[in-house]
Structure 1
Amino acid sequence: MNLHHKALRHFISASVIVLTSSFLIYELIASDRAMNAYMRYIMERADSSFLYDKYQNQSIAAHLMRTFEAPGDPVTAEKRRARVLRRL
């Protein structure tokens, strides 16, 4: 009878180890999948944010180029002095 109880104890111990290990492995895999999905989400948002910033920078650059290309009246020394005097 002693052998039967010893085998039963080993079977129960092995069952507990197998069930606990399988649960932990399942949780590890589920956590990995969730983290990968979250990282994909972050990457998509970062790409769209980067593209939006790039669009804004290009828009500002184009606006400045159009502004600087527009012909303006030449500023004479007298006009500069008048502007300085108006500020004072």
Structure 2
Amino acid sequence: MDHLIDSAFSKEWLIGGEAVPCRYRYKDDTHELKNHSGLLAQGTQCVHPNGDKFEVINSQRFNTSTYLHTLQPLNDKPKTDWTPQR
């Protein structure tokens, strides 16, 4: 059954440099990703098929074969230096 759902609704995401079929959802200001490959470590980089980059902030088991990952947009810009100039 999972194979049928994945073939209809999933897209290939790059997770840690590996192509993984995942189902993505954005709801209530939350980016969610479902897959069958297991828990992901916090901070793991995920790349959407259109090139948007995200990082994992939470990963949990959804049911017996599916894992739910909460994502946030990856901020790869250097931090702003707020030190006042003299």
**When the two structures are superposed, what TM-score results if normalisation uses the length of structure 2?**
0.23
Structure number having the greater strand percentage = 2
Structure number having the greater helix percentage = 1
More contact order relative to length (CA 8 Å, sep ≥ 6):
2
**When the two structures are superposed, what TM-score results if normalisation uses the length of structure 1?**
0.23
Report the structure number with the largest CA radius of gyration.
1
